[in-house]
Structure 1
Amino acid sequence: MARGKKGRAVSGWLVVDKPAGITSTAVVNKVKWAMDAQKAGHAGTLDPAATGVLAIALGEATKTVPYVTDALKCYRFMVNLGAATTTDDAEGSVIAESALRPLDAEIEAALAAFRGDIQQVPPQFSAVKVDGERAYDLAREGEAMDLAARPLWVEQLVLISRPSADQVELEMVCGKGGYVRAIARDLGAALGCLGHVAWLRREWSGPFTAAEGISVAQIDALAKTAELDAFLKPLELGLADLPELPCTPEGAARLKNGNPGMVLASSVGYGDEAWASYQGRAVAVGIYKSGELHPSRVFN
């Protein structure tokens, strides 16, 4: 006889304002325990030293994680000028120093090269896989890797403040797969002064903001209570970047069984990805073709 899944079949998003000093995986595990949830995952890792929005998907909401991961994200961060480190942030050891300090105008001019479609080499200490192993594991063993550059879309990168000659505060809005530490490293190299991240905060990720996030202390205090459940947001928020197509009762029934279902007329084009709703609840995600949605993911 098959054993049932442990925990509650709870679904939705819990937005956490992650503190420094804890891994994203540890936050997911804490939320899963506190919500007594069967399934949990997050939409985009934050380094242990980083703070800010970490969107945790529970239950059926885990099926919408890719759409939040692919969405734009906003980071506010401080760059320490004058030194390069092993990790490209303040956690690492200094490997090179420079007495040069650029003017604000020079920084503004250099930022232009980091906007739009760019190629970015991940930090040595990153989760990129090299021959099946994580780069950060190889880096800890002292191995230097020749990591391939990866494409990144940078929507916005602006200078926010210059607290001192040694520091510059920046804000970046970018797509999936961006490394803020690589921006700090490469900007410092372009300016000739070297640089690394002093601190980093993710202000928003797709539809979720750090301002609406619950703290880890609150999660501990409200664990396994209805008060914590009240912070849960609907799974449909994870589909905010896709068009919504209301469907008929018959269409909803067919979609729930994994078959193409009729949806109401809209401006969505043939072959576009969309999600079908019935009475405001997500039924399926799929491809729109001639009045029907052909499902790729179905919500139970």
Structure 2
Amino acid sequence: MARKRKGRDISGWLVVDKPAGPTSTAMVNKVRWALQAKKAGHAGTLDPEATGVLAVALGEATKTVPFVTDALKAYRFAVRFGQATNTDDAEGEVIAQSDARPSDEEIKEALGSFIGDIMQVPPKFSAVKIDGQRAYKLARDGEDVEIAARPLWVEELVLTDRPDAGTAVLEMTCGKGGYVRAIARDLGAALGCHGHVTWLRRLWSGPFDVEDGVTLEQVEALAQDPALDAHLLPLEVGLSELPELRSTPDGAAKLRNGNPGMVHPGDAEYGDECWASLDGRAVAVGIYKAGMLHPSRVFVAPQGEGSQ
């Protein structure tokens, strides 16, 4: 018999303003401990030295993680020109240097080639898998890893500050799978002066904004205190990128059992992926077809709510 997982049946999102240092996994574990939650996950890894939005999903909200992961995200970061590192950030070893320093105009002109649909090679020190192994593990073992370029949508990339001749502060809005370190590396290469990231902050991720985040200090101070629950956002926030269709009570009962259920007409067309709600609560995610939602993910009704 499988051992029953201890903890509370708590569902929702906690937006954490991650500090530099801890891994994303460590932050998730800290939140799960603080809220005594049975289940937790996150929507988009941040490097240990990166700060900003880390959206932690709890309980049933973990079923909405893919929809947040696929959403646009925004970053502010600094690029240091004149040096390339093996990790593409300030933590790595310097592998190339240059005395050249680009002007504002040269940077702005170069940024144009990084906007829209681009192909990006992830850093060698990344979690990308190569023949079943993480690239960073192979790189640490001294192997010369070859990583294939991947498509990335960059909606916006702008120069926002120039603290000194060797540093540029940029802001980027991009889709799933983007590596800011690779942008810094490739921008430095395009400008003929090398470059790497010195600091990185995620400003928002899908519906979650850093201004709504709690700090690690707050999580620790309010650990196992009902006051921390007040910072939770409903799991439905993670579905904000999808059209919402209201379900009938009978349709909700069918959907919760994994069967197609009737929904009221709304802002969705045949074949769209949508989510169904009953009294504002998420019932299921699925494909809308002729007045019915065909579920792919079903949410367990909160305690105290029946399935009828």
> How high is the TM-score relative to the length of structure 2?
0.96
SS of the equivalent of 1:80 reads strand
SS at match of 1:27: helix
Give how far 1:263 is off. Answer: 0.3
Q: Work out whether residues 245 and 267 of structure 2, in 8 Å CA contact, stay in contact via their aligned partners in 1.
A: no
Instruction: Quote the residue 2:280 is aligned against.
Output: 280
Instruction: Give 2:55's aligned residue.
Output: 55
> Deviation of residue 273 (structure 1)?
0.2
Q: Give the superposition deviation at 1:247.
A: 0.8
Supply the AA of the counterpart residue of 1:171: E
1:68 corresponds to: 68
Q: Supply the distance in 2 between the matched residues of 1:203 and 1:54 (Cα, whole angstroms).
A: 10
Q: Any stretches of 5+ residues in structure 2 without a counterpart?
A: 301-308
Instruction: Give 5+ residue unaligned stretches, structure 1.
Output: none
Moved more, 141-150 or 197-206: 141-150
Equivalent-residue separation in structure 2 for 1:166 and 1:267 (angstroms): 49
Question: In the alignment, what sits opposite 1:20?
Answer: 20
- The CA deviation string for residues 2-43 of structure 1, in whole angstroms up to 9 with x for no partner, is 643210110000000000011000000001111111100000
| Secondary structure of 1:75's aligned partner | strand
Q: Is the 8 A contact 2:244 2:267 kept in 1?
A: no
For 1:150 and 1:216, the matched residues in 2 are separated by 33
The Cα of 1:267 is off from its aligned counterpart by: 3.3
Letter in 2 for 1:111: L
Contact preservation (8 Å) 2:203, 2:209:
yes
Residue identity opposite 1:49 in structure 2: E
Q: Using the TM superposition, give the Cα deviation of residue 265 of structure 1 relative to its aligned residue in structure 2, in angstroms.
A: 1.1
Cα distance per residue 1:124-178 (max 9 Å; x no partner): 1000011111000111111111110000000000000111100000000000000
Output the amino acid matched with 1:218. Q
2:142 corresponds in structure 1 to 142
d(CA) in 1 for partners of 2:2 and 2:70?
36
SS in 1 for 2:159: strand
Q: Percent identity, please.
A: 71
CA distance in structure 1 between the partners assigned to 2:246 and 2:269 by the alignment = 15
State the Cα deviation string for residues 183-206 of structure 1 (Å, max 9, x = none). Answer: 000000000000000100000000
Please name the residue that 1:184 is paired with.
184
Indicate the SS of the match to 1:269: coil
The structural deviation recorded for 1:102 is 1.0
TM-score by structure 1 length? 0.99
Tell me how far apart the structure 1 counterparts of residues 73 and 265 of structure 2 sit (CA, whole Å): 32
Amino acid at match of 2:179: Y
Per-residue displacement from partner, 1:227-265 (whole Å, max 9, x unpaired)?
011111100000000000001110111101111000001
- Whether the 8 Å CA contact 2:5–2:38 is kept in 1: the answer is yes
Match of 1:126 in 2: 126
SS for the counterpart of 2:214 is: coil
| Code of the aligned partner of 1:48 | P
Alignment pair present for 1:36 and 2:36: yes
